[in-house]
Structure 1
Amino acid sequence: MVSYLIKRIISLIPILFGISVLVFTILHLVPGDPASIMLGTNATPEAIAALHKSMGLDQPLLTQYLHWIGGMLKGDFGVSVHSGEEILPQIIKRFSITLQLTVFGVLIGWVLAIPFGILSAIRAHSKTDIIVRVATLLGISVPNFAVGTLLLLGFSLYFNWFPPIDVVSFWENPVEAFKVFILPAVTMGIVVAAGVMRMTRSAFLETMDKDFIRTARAKGNSQWTVVIGHAFRNSSIPIVTIAGMQIGYLLGGSVIVEQLFSIPGLGQYILEGIYQRDYPVVQGGVLFVALVFVLVNLLIDLIYTWIDPRIKY
């Protein structure tokens, strides 16, 4: 296990290096000059050239990349060319907000998905199964921004309730934080629930036909014991796989939900950097998200060994 962990950690180096090169290259291919955006349309060529020099944008791309990646290796994410603030503290601050939103949304999705997915599997081809499958199809088909917009309109027009604008941490004030995060978390939870519910149903349908399930029933075990005690753990690997992938995507891809509900998370921070052509913000933010994503996948691989002791690394 230790050797496997060391190999996986070492394998992160070329992955993150490739992502850094890709992001750096794409950003510099995007039309728009950060100096021109910061100075406005009335800026003189001399002022733009001076700002280019102060930001290091007059240097060759290879030199800019080596300077940036050298700072990253030292833990220096640089400063924002737009605000002048250090990037790493902002990323950590914004990521804590995104993390709370993601955890809340994932919990809502799992609470909905796993019980109904199991119920749909053990009552296959019944009315309950049809309803669950239709709900799953709707959850997968409807984009999250549409769900969020409907929730905002519904609660504001019919219930006259508007979620608070100021973000509060769950550690500071759980009640106020619940009010802030409930609608965006439900928006994300519906998307999570659709995918996990579909995978739960498929995994349980496959497991319920195994010989050990028939043996467990032949011994006189109750349906609850068979489903939870025998089928659940043996069906967990594909469920954990898709759940882990969704967590990784949500941690870095919740930008639409954050923008819709005015949540100042990491996704919105990166999006603002893209609008402002703030290269250090986007590069540092994307690389941080990539690191989190690969660490989540590593954690999922380790969970496999706990679920199924036959898996050895």
Structure 2
Amino acid sequence: MGRYIVKRLISLVPIIFGISVLVFTILHLVPGDPASIMLGTSATPEAIKVLRQEMGLDLPLVQQYLQWMGGLLQGDFGVSVHTGEPILPEILSRFSITLQLTVLGALFGWLFAIPLGIISAVRVHSSVDVVVRLFAMLGISVPNFAIGTLLLLGLSLYFGWFPPIDVVSFWEDPAEAWQVFVLPAITMGIVLAAGVMRMTRSAFLETLEKDFIRTARAKGNNQWIVIVGHALRNSSIPIVTIAGMQIGYLLGGSVIVEQLFSIPGLGQYILDGIYQRDYPVVQGGVLFVALVFVLVNLLVDVIYTWIDPRIKY
């Protein structure tokens, strides 16, 4: 296992390199000059030229990329061209907020989706199964910004629940943090729950037809003992796979939710960088999210061996 993990960590190098080239190239293809945007419409060409030289934007793209990668290899994500502040401390600070939101949204989605998916599989073709499948279809079809807008209008503005307050960490004040994160977490969790629910139902339907399930039932075991003690673990591989992938998608998809609920997380930080043509912020933020996504996938692979000891690396 240790050898496998080391190999996977080494394989991160070409993946991160490819992502960095892609992000760098796409950003520099976007119309607009950061120096012109920062100085405004009244700036003179001379002032714009001086600022471009200070920002290194006058250098060839290859040289700009090599300078950026050289800083990354030393742990330096660069400096924001808009604020002049180092990027990495800001990314880590914002990521802690995004991580809390993502974990809460994932917990909500899993605790809601897995039990309903199991019940839907056990009571296949029943009215409960139809309702669960309909909810899953709606969760996949409706975008998260629409769900978040409805929650804001219905619960926050109309009923006055969860009023807008400053963002605080769960470590500082759990009660106040709950009021801040509950609506965006539900927004993210509903989308996650839809996919996990469908996968849980499909995995259980397949597992319940296996011979070892028939044997467990023939021994006179209770229905829920058969489901929890035998079927659950053997159905967990595809569930864990999609859950791990969606954690990465939640981290990346938090941009819209954070913007909608005015949460100063990493997603909003990257979005502000896009608006301001702040290349170092966007490059560093996207690369950081990609690294976390790949590490989550590695963790999922490690969990496989705990669920099914027959899996060897």
Q: Is TM > 0.5 for Structure 1 vs Structure 2?
A: yes
Same amino acid, percent of matched pairs: 80
| Aligned: 1:8 with 2:12 | no
Q: Could you tell me which residue of structure 2 aligns to residue 166 of structure 1?
A: 166
Q: Indicate conservation of the 8 Å contact 1:71/1:77, yes or no.
A: yes
Amino acid at match of 2:193: A
Once the two structures are superposed, residues 98-140 of structure 1 have per-residue CA deviations (whole angstroms, 9 ceiling, x without a partner) of 0000000011111110110000000000011001101111111
Distance 2:170 2:74 in 1: 32
CA contact (8 A) 2:162 2:180 kept: no
The CA deviation string for residues 242-276 of structure 1, in whole angstroms up to 9 with x for no partner, is 00000011112210000000011111101110111
Once the two structures are superposed, what CA deviation does each residue of 1:55-80 show, in whole Å capped at 9, x if it has no partner?
11111111110000000000001110
State the shift of 1:162 in Å. Answer: 4.8
How far apart, in 2, do the equivalents of 1:224 and 1:195 lie? 24
2:81–2:280 contact (8 Å) kept in structure 1 = yes
Q: Structure 1 residue 156: deviation in Å? A: 3.2
Q: Kindly provide the CA deviation profile for residues 144-196 of structure 1, in whole angstroms up to 9, marking residues without a partner as x.
A: 00000000000134312353331000000000000000000010111111110
Q: How does 1:246-265 map to 2 (within 5 A)?
A: 246-265=246-265
Partner of 1:57: 57
1:254 alignment partner, SS class: helix
Q: How does 1:195-210 map to 2 (within 5 A)?
A: 195-210=195-210
5 Å matches for 1:236-247? 236-247=236-247
Inter-partner Cα distance in structure 2 for 1:255 and 1:86: 21
CA RMSD of aligned residues (A): 0.8
1:140–1:194 contact (8 Å) kept in structure 2: yes
- The residue type paired with residue 11 of structure 1 is S
Q: Gaps (5+ residues) in structure 1?
A: none
Q: CA deviation at 1:213?
A: 0.1
Which residue of 2 is the match for residue 268 of structure 1?
Answer: 268
Q: Distance in 1 between matches of 2:123 and 2:312?
A: 34
Match of 2:44 in 1: 44
Structure 2 counterpart of 1:245, one-letter code: M
Q: What TM-score, normalized by structure 1, do the two folds share?
A: 0.99
The alignment's TM-score, normalised by the length of structure 2, stands at: 0.99
Give the AA of the match of 1:222.
Answer: N
1:12-52 Cα shifts (integer Å, max 9, x gaps) = 00000000001001100000000000000010000000000
Distance, in Å, in 1 between the alignment partners of 2:308 and 2:189 is 27
Which one is further off, 203-212 or 157-166?
157-166
| Structure 2 residue 93 is matched with structure 1 residue 85 | no
Tell me, what secondary structure is at the counterpart of 1:171?
A: coil
Looking at structure 1, the residues matched to 158 and 40 of structure 2 have their Cα atoms a distance apart, in angstroms, of: 43
Provide the residue aligned with 1:138 in structure 2.
138
CA distance in 1, matches of 2:2, 2:155: 51
SS in structure 2 at match of 1:312 = coil
C-alpha separation in 2, matches of 1:251 and 1:55: 30
Count, aligned residues? 313
Q: Distance in 1 between matches of 2:161 and 2:224?
A: 41
SS in 2 for 1:224: helix
Q: Are the counterparts in 1 of residues 162 and 179 from structure 2 also a CA contact under 8 Å?
A: no
Tell me if 1:122 matches 2:105: no
Cα distance in structure 1, aligned partners of 2:13 and 2:58? 29
Cα 1:64–1:157, aligned 2, differ >3 Å: closer, same or farther?
Answer: closer
State the match for 2:104 in structure 1: 104
For the Cα contact (< 8 Å) 2:245–2:297, is it kept in 1? yes
User: What SS class does the counterpart of residue 267 from structure 2 fall into?
Assistant: helix
- Structure 1 contact 165–262 (Cα < 8 Å) conserved: no
